[in-house]
């Protein structure tokens, strides 16, 4: 997906919120946008999700998209189940698949008991779980998260972290905004900052990963594993570092958010896991 010369202003004579944004969003990547309040983050994410259009410039190659808006319009006269089934259908799922996916995600978020509850009666956090579910259930190739973790309890935040890792592992582009700098720390493939209407890559630390690529910070998982003889580690998302030792042992480290995906992927490729532990980056 590409943005070329994208600008947005509200009203004919309004100030430009964003100007001359050129950006390439690769598949299989996690991209973070930062910026002060009012710098245009939500404006940019709405255009990425395709629910708002640039005033100038163009956006091309947008894949199927799931979007969690900053504010979830919870005042619809529908039950959770009816709303999610409807949204699943909008995202191209069959009715049966929509019902199944909605059920699975509500279960993962621990709110399956609310499927018959009207949206307007849900607590803020439960509404947010529904908002996140509608974005995830059709396994979109572009996932746009505007402060999607806000209001979620600890377990649900972890579920969402893992869902992000899963989407990236399946080849999707995930873009997110969050005011907590520790959110998915170290997992982003690129970070950009909005300032004065312009988008700039956040200066890379000297980690050799190129402009816009964030250096690893936060907790990481360290996996010692052995693969089938002569086989390199499978392609893995999220800044995985692999060090091959003589004798066939490989040490892999990745942000903790990716630990399930990393272990699942190694097991799927017939790797033998010797040990797993968490360590600070």
Ligand X SMILES: Nc1ncnc2c1ncn2[C@@H]1O[C@H](COP(=O)(O)OP(=O)(O)OP(=O)(O)O)[C@@H](O)[C@H]1O
State the residues that interact with ligand X by CB under 6 A. Answer: 10, 17, 35, 37-43, 70
Contact 222, 280 (CB under 8 A): no
52/104 with CB nearer ligand X: 52
Q: How far is the CB of 21 from ligand X (least distance, A)?
A: 13
User: Integer distance in angstroms from the first to the last C-alpha of the chain?
Assistant: 31
Residue 199, Ramachandran bin (φ over 0: left; ψ between -120 and 50: alpha; else beta): beta
63/197 with CB nearer ligand X: 197
174/256 with CB nearer ligand X: 174
Q: How far is the CB of 115 from ligand X (least distance, A)?
A: 30
- The CA-based diameter of the chain, rounded to the nearest angstrom, is 67
Q: Residue 256 has what DSSP assignment?
A: G
Q: How far apart are the C-alpha atoms of 50 and 58, rounded to whole Å?
A: 11
Q: How far is the CB of 120 from ligand X (least distance, A)?
A: 24
Burial 10-35 (b: 16+ CB within 10 A, else e): eeeeeebbbbebebebeebbbbbbbb
197/201 with CB nearer ligand X: 197
In terms of Cβ atoms closer than 10 Å to its own Cβ (0-12, 13-18, 19+), residue 280 is: exposed
Q: How far is the CB of 175 from ligand X (least distance, A)?
A: 13
Residue 229 pairs in a beta bridge with none
Q: How far is the CB of 46 from ligand X (least distance, A)?
A: 8
For residue 203, the surrounding DSSP H or E stretch is none
135: its two tokens: 């974005």
Q: How far is the CB of 207 from ligand X (least distance, A)?
A: 27
18/142 with CB nearer ligand X: 18
Q: How far apart are the C-alpha atoms of 44 and 205, rounded to whole Å?
A: 25
70/260 with CB nearer ligand X: 70
41/213 with CB nearer ligand X: 41
Q: How far is the CB of 32 from ligand X (least distance, A)?
A: 13
H-helix segments, the chain: 41-49, 80-90, 95-108, 124-136, 154-169, 259-268
55/173 with CB nearer ligand X: 55
80: its two tokens: 């959770």
Q: How far is the CB of 93 from ligand X (least distance, A)?
A: 30
């Amino acid at each position: 997906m590409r943005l070329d010369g994208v600008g947005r202003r509200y009203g004919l004579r309004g100030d430009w919120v964003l100007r001359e944004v050129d950006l390439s969003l690769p598949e299989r990547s996690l991209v973070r946008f930062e910026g002060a309040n009012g710098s245009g983050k939500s404006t940019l994410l709405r255009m990425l999700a395709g629910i708002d259009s640039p005033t100038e410039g163009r956006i091309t190659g947008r894949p199927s998209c799931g979007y969690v808006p900053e504010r979830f319009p919870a005042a619809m006269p529908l039950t959770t189940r009816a709303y999610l089934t409807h949204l699943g259908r909008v995202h191209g799922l069959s009715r049966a698949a929509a019902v199944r996916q909605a059920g699975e995600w509500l279960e993962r978020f621990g709110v399956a008991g609310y499927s018959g509850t009207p949206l307007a009666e849900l607590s803020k956090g439960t509404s947010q779980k529904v908002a996140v579910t509608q974005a995830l259930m059709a396994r979109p190739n572009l996932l746009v998260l505007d402060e999607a973790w806000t209001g979620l309890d600890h377990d649900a935040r972890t579920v969402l972290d893992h869902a992000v890792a899963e989407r990236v592992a399946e080849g999707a582009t995930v873009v997110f905004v969050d005011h907590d700098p520790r959110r998915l720390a170290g997992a982003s493939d690129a970070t950009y900052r909005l300032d004065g209407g312009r988008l700039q890559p956040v200066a890379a630390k000297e980690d050799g990963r190129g402009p816009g690529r964030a250096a690893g910070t936060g907790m990481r998982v360290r996996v010692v594993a052995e693969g089938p003889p002569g086989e390199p580690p499978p392609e893995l998302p999220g800044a995985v570092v692999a060090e091959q030792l003589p004798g066939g042992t490989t040490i892999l480290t990745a942000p903790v958010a990716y630990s399930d995906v990393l272990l699942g992927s190694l097991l799927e490729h017939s790797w033998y896991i010797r040990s797993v532990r968490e360590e600070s980056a």
